[in-house]
Structure 1
Amino acid sequence: MANTTAELIFIPAPGVGHIMSTIEIAKLLVNRDQRLAITVIVIKPLSANSGPAITAYIESLAEKTMDRISFIQLPQDVTPPIHDPKQHPLNTSIEFIKSHSKHVRNVVADLKSQPGSGRVVGFVVDMFCTSMIDVANEFNVPTFVYFTSNAAVLGLTFYIKKLCDDMNIDVIELGNSDTEILVPSFVTPVPAKVFWSLFKTKEGLDFVRWFTRGLGEAKAIIVNTFLELETHAIEALSHEVSIPPVYSVGPILNLEGGSGDGKPIEDDVIRWLDSQPPSSVVFLCFGSMGSFDEVQVKEIARGLELSGYRFVWSLRRPPPDQTSRVPRDYEDPSVVLPEGFMERTRGIGKVIGWAPQVAVLGHHAVGGFVSHCGWNSLLESLWFGVPSATWPMYAEQQVNAFEMVVELGLAVEIKLDYVKDLHNPKANTIIVTAEEIERGIRRVMEDNEVRRKVKEMSEKSRSAVKEGGSSYASVGRLIQDILKEFF
């Protein structure tokens, strides 16, 4: 009897959030259909983008064994790509990923030649790995792109390319103005001030056009969202003939925790939360790249004291230099905090380093979340029914914040247009004041209408992935699409 295993090649971008999310969707697919097997090809990150915990996590993947999911770590070329100052820094990362094409080609050829192995039926590549579509084409198999952000941002990205290429609009001038534009994937006009910073420079826009062209070459785009959350955006995408079919399969979450290596920290925080009243604690956490200078840290501390609320604050130390963009933990956080802050807030709050985000958000004592608005973090907060106060920092987070606050009414604002340049941290001079922070904390803890909406969306997010739910059905259609030429 012929081998009836259909093999998918997964290629995540070399960032911990992207890899974790990719593994979760891989697990979802093999659990739904016994005929599928998946090989995850792991690219080691550039050292500038990784800290020791991330590197250790990625190294550990090759040792993992999951049912019908295997991991292959690619060798890394000795010479990292040289950054061209005329190009956006993201282009360096893209060139770095593209440089692994020959290794991917070898892995797939090797898989195909092994006796008894399944037939390779397609590639599933991260949104930043579309250069691998060329490799998939060589093997005559389709490519599905996994878009780790949301449907509204996907629609905005395609629309920006359309403004540039079809309507000859000066998007850079637009992006640096005070105007608002009507975008098909949003109901509310989108202010240019919340545009992805990529839209505001020539180098960034060149990258966006390349990036969107790659998305357009996919057989379909898999998006980590769900119909009930982004009804308008998903419907708008489905009506646009130039955009490949979109499968909304979310929320795809890793509910087992992150890449932190701080088990004692986790136990200590959870023990402290166990002794707090329900929904009484505000949790501040700014993602794997989130950190602030001392002036801003002191404003956050003052804002927390002014609010009077209990808190857990994940406070990270900015990278010491440009060789790394990953924050570290402080050995002694009191060196950047206002004098006496730790003593005055003893028993009321906890200042920690790396945070076990999922464990904290899922705790009954947590009632609000001050977030950098990474899409994974926002989906986690909705899953657990915890309203967010938005403090976006980089990438598409300003657009995520706008969607959550203005478009959907599922979050409150601290600052919608705060921007931190990861490639030049000293460029940002905006200071969010203690008073703004206090206001945001009070609103996220006291706005009962937002809390009610978030609780409703929490139930919808859990229903979406169950049998009979919208994302469950969408995953079924995706599997049919993958396998229809194989069986």
Structure 2
Amino acid sequence: MSPPPHALVIPYPAQGHVIPLLELAHTLVDRGFTVTFANTEFNHRRVIAAMADTAKHGGAAAAQLDRIRLVSMPDGMEPGEDRNNLVRLTVLMAEHMAPRVEDFILQSHRHGDAEPIMCMVADYNVGTWALDVARRTKIKSAAIWPASAAVLASLLSIDELIHRNIIDANDGSALTQGTFRLSPEMPEMHTAHLAWNCIGNHEGQEALFRYLIGGVRAVEGCDFILCNSFHGAEEGTFARFPKVLPVGPFLTGERDGKAVGHFWRPEHDACLSWLDKQPARSVVYVAFGSSTMFDTRQFKELAMGLELCGRPFLWVVRPDIVHGDVHEYPDGFFSSEDGGKGGGVVAGGRGMVVSWSPQQAVLAHKAVGCFVTHCGWNSTMEGVRNGVPFMAWPYFADQFVNQVYICDVWKVGLKAEADESGVITKEHIAGRVEELMSDKDMRERVEGMKKLAHESVKEGGTSHDNFDLFVQAMNA
């Protein structure tokens, strides 16, 4: 009997990438594969610590998890260096991880490994070097794009954008300030919101643009380009770019009630026990992902807006914010027993603040009535998959395009709009929540999207069939 096929999965080192790629790894295991999942050393430690069952066994560097072997490799950054500097992190990974990954693959073949690595699934954002390694080691390869197909389409269309005089050929900067479409059926995009134009400073944006051009060239030679989306969500984009195969939406972040790929341990029992006590569709769920940071004024305005709306709310304020005292809550926001430290039940028991949540389980809970979100793609797909309307509050990168989908294309959410001083006020927050909670037509539209999402991943659905096609090719 031949051994199961062995795949190497490499995520980009960000929370919104590690979670869906680890879910992809689990899905490959469901289809008979053995998987090696290669995180950076820094994120490997965080993932292991967040997985309680694995952590009990010491969190070894080569942890085993249901035929998924979790391994770590250096990212090239120094201890304590800011890994939110995505441009520097991206460049250093190419220099330091690529030779380690290549040697890792070759070693699996040299030493008579019973299950040598036969294929690679690389996050598109590490594809510039990872897919080159796959070619040199002569294994099959696929690129996985864990965000919207529309944003991927903008990367694949860089040459076209240059030809149309929309962006500069040297640094990708916008030549005109305004909107454009890649096809009439695709969402409108703004030149300032192209992925490389809304991260870091100009120097970093230019370096990122150059790196992304390399990524476009790299994926041209891989066997598959997969996307964590579904046909009904982005029909016009998939028609324009038929080589991009939708295989989502992934059920991200949780397997059998356990955290999958989280950097922090979710407060699972606390969140769900509190939600169980709330009326159906009454709770405002507020979560801004792993990177969003507000200034003190906006943070307080959000807190006061949640108080003003008069509805129960579950608010996720990340551990790095809570423990670092980055933000301050309004006076009296917490009951006296909480000591105002940024955790627990808000005064009166109407709200709850947690440092990290099991988001998939929360959005699936019957008590949740709307989702205040940064519009990260994982959050967007999780909200759609669970039929929850959105208050869309993008922060950077692809999130602005996702807001266009939510509010203008699918019409399943409302935009959070700032006043003339750049602040989204407490009155606006409370007003938007009331609109979302009372809009029956929007509820019907998001339920329709939910149905399309579920149909896509069932047997016979487009995403299910595409994933089967991919699996068969990798296993051939």
TM-score relative to the length of structure 2: 0.83
Q: Structure 1's 411 and 395: CA in aligned 2 closer, same or farther, altered over 3 A?
A: same
* Matches of 2:4 and 2:17, distance apart in 1: 26
Q: Structure 1's 445 and 196: CA in aligned 2 closer, same or farther, altered over 3 A?
A: farther
* Matches of 1:108 and 1:332, distance apart in 2: 43
Q: Which amino acid aligns with 2:15?
A: V
**CA offsets, 1:244-292, max 9 Å, x none?**
x2221111123344636556x4323322221211000101111112232
Q: Which amino acid aligns with 1:92?
A: R
Corresponding residue number in structure 1 for 2:343: none
* Matches of 1:61 and 1:288, distance apart in 2: 25
* Matches of 1:483 and 1:269, distance apart in 2: 41
Q: Structure 1's 376 and 169: CA in aligned 2 closer, same or farther, altered over 3 A?
A: closer
1:138 partnered with 2:140: no
**Aligned counterpart in structure 1 of residue 322 of structure 2, from 322, 326, 329:** 329
Q: CA deviation at 1:345?
A: 5.0
1:113 partnered with 2:113: no
**CA offsets, 1:8-37, max 9 Å, x none?**
2221222333222212112212322x3x33
Q: Which amino acid aligns with 2:219?
A: L
**Match of 2:38, SS?**
strand
> Is 1:5–1:119's contact at 8 Å kept on the other side of the alignment?
no
* Matches of 2:107 and 2:194, distance apart in 1: 43
Q: CA deviation at 1:89?
A: 4.8
TM-score relative to the length of structure 1: 0.81
Corresponding residue number in structure 2 for 1:241: none
**Aligned counterpart in structure 2 of residue 213 of structure 1, from 191, 213, 217:** 217
**CA offsets, 1:285-343, max 9 Å, x none?**
111122322211221123223322221112347xxxxxxxxx3325889x822223335
Alignment of 1:53-92 (within 5 A): 53-54=46-47, 56-57=49-50, 60=59, 62=61, 64-74=63-73, 89-92=85-88
* Matches of 2:314 and 2:198, distance apart in 1: 35
Corresponding residue number in structure 1 for 2:240: 236
**CA offsets, 1:182-238, max 9 Å, x none?**
223853432335433526946143343233333334322111011122212111111
**Match of 1:65, SS?**
strand
Q: Structure 1's 472 and 316: CA in aligned 2 closer, same or farther, altered over 3 A?
A: closer
**Aligned counterpart in structure 2 of residue 279 of structure 1, from 262, 270, 281:** 281
Q: Structure 1's 189 and 128: CA in aligned 2 closer, same or farther, altered over 3 A?
A: closer
Q: Structure 1's 355 and 119: CA in aligned 2 closer, same or farther, altered over 3 A?
A: closer
**CA offsets, 1:332-381, max 9 Å, x none?**
89x82222333595222223332332232122111000001111111111
**CA offsets, 1:33-72, max 9 Å, x none?**
x3x3322223223xxxx69845734984745434443233
> Is 2:232–2:452's contact at 8 Å kept on the other side of the alignment?
yes
> Is 1:133–1:143's contact at 8 Å kept on the other side of the alignment?
yes
Corresponding residue number in structure 2 for 1:10: 9
> Is 2:187–2:404's contact at 8 Å kept on the other side of the alignment?
no
* Matches of 1:331 and 1:77, distance apart in 2: 25
Q: Which amino acid aligns with 1:91?
A: V
Q: Structure 1's 260 and 16: CA in aligned 2 closer, same or farther, altered over 3 A?
A: closer
Q: Which amino acid aligns with 2:106?
A: A
> Is 1:81–1:92's contact at 8 Å kept on the other side of the alignment?
no
1:467 partnered with 2:442: no
Q: Structure 1's 352 and 8: CA in aligned 2 closer, same or farther, altered over 3 A?
A: closer
> Is 1:151–1:185's contact at 8 Å kept on the other side of the alignment?
no
> Is 1:155–1:185's contact at 8 Å kept on the other side of the alignment?
no
**Aligned counterpart in structure 2 of residue 124 of structure 1, from 121, 126, 147:** 121
* Matches of 2:75 and 2:167, distance apart in 1: 39
> RMSD of the TM alignment (CA)?
3.3
* Alignment gaps of 5+ in structure 1: 239-244, 318-326, 419-428
**Match of 2:64, SS?**
coil
Corresponding residue number in structure 2 for 1:373: 375
**Match of 1:128, SS?**
helix
> Is 1:81–1:96's contact at 8 Å kept on the other side of the alignment?
no
> Is 2:194–2:397's contact at 8 Å kept on the other side of the alignment?
no
Corresponding residue number in structure 2 for 1:242: none
Q: CA deviation at 1:161?
A: 4.0
* Matches of 1:307 and 1:77, distance apart in 2: 46
Alignment of 1:38-437 (within 5 A): 38-45=35-42, 53-54=46-47, 56-57=49-50, 60=59, 62=61, 64-74=63-73, 89-98=85-94, 99-115=96-112, 117-130=114-127, 131-164=129-162, 166-171=163-168, 175=174, 178-184=177-183, 186-196=185-195, 198=197, 201=202, 203=206, 204-238=208-242, 245-252=243-250, 253-256=252-255, 257=259, 259=262, 265-316=267-318, 327-330=320-323, 336-342=328-334, 346-415=348-417, 430-437=422-429
Q: CA deviation at 1:483?
A: 3.0
Q: Structure 1's 198 and 218: CA in aligned 2 closer, same or farther, altered over 3 A?
A: farther
1:452 partnered with 2:444: yes
* Alignment gaps of 5+ in structure 2: 336-345
* Matches of 1:116 and 1:177, distance apart in 2: 55
> Is 1:329–1:354's contact at 8 Å kept on the other side of the alignment?
no
* Matches of 2:436 and 2:175, distance apart in 1: 30
Q: CA deviation at 1:386?
A: 1.1
Q: Structure 1's 119 and 458: CA in aligned 2 closer, same or farther, altered over 3 A?
A: same
> Is 2:154–2:194's contact at 8 Å kept on the other side of the alignment?
no
> Is 2:50–2:265's contact at 8 Å kept on the other side of the alignment?
no
**CA offsets, 1:91-143, max 9 Å, x none?**
32222221112211221111112335235432111112111122111112232
